[in-house]
Structure 1
Amino acid sequence: MAAIPDAQTFPVHWLVGSGGSGKSDASYWTYATLLERDMHVGRIDTDDLGMCRPAPADDEPNLRVKAAGLAAMIGVHRAHGAQGVVVSGCGNSAVVAALHTELDRPGVAAHVLDTTGWPGAAPDPT
């Protein structure tokens, strides 16, 4: 397997954007490409992490559940030898801020790429 450039840093390649902007597809192809390069990586879709209903009235999109779930999943992947993860999901600044707060910890390097406006992506509804 290829080595992480800095063994002290765990890369999180995070694709965000509006619904239909291509986040899931792009994250899958990024994940598959890294696997082809002999990287031991994981892929996480935050849409799957927020399926806890009913959501609290003060957190309808379940940001806290997604943030805690993502942090836990990253920890599990890392503990089992992953060299990084590719994350797909979340399209608004509130979600991004909540997840960034949860991921702001030593040794984690989150790289965020917004897929909104990519060719072929659905238009941003805002």
Structure 2
Amino acid sequence: MSDPCPCGRPLPYAQCCGALHDEYDRSGHLTAPDAEALMRSRYSAFVKDRRDYLMATWHPRTRPRQLEAPEPGLRWLGLDVLSHRVLDEDHAEVRFVARSKLGGRAHRLMETSRFERVNDEWLYVDGDIA
């Protein structure tokens, strides 16, 4: 039995976000079909500590120079996608809640993320935390 995908879809990781991560590893291309799939794959990349994938999927205009390692003991607990709104052919928003636990305390991040398609690849631009 294979590991379930951290993104919350009822698929094994290898057939869901893992396939997007693997395609990036093989070809250097980002193949998420839409902003929601990219957002889910980014959440899974946080769970798997795939900082290379997170940086590659971040729009160059807003990408940080580096990502710090996750805090020791951080556990990601789940993702709920609340909405996926297509604004036009190359822009979309995804509203989600990501749950985590650190130092015995539960945390909840609610964000509306903005995405842009550049050269046929969806990229994370930025987000508003609620």
* More contact order relative to length (CA 8 Å, sep ≥ 6): 1
Determine which structure has the larger strand proportion and give its number.
2
Determine which structure has the larger helix proportion and give its number.
1
Fold shared, TM-score > 0.5 on shorter chain: no
* TM-score (ref. length: structure 1): 0.27
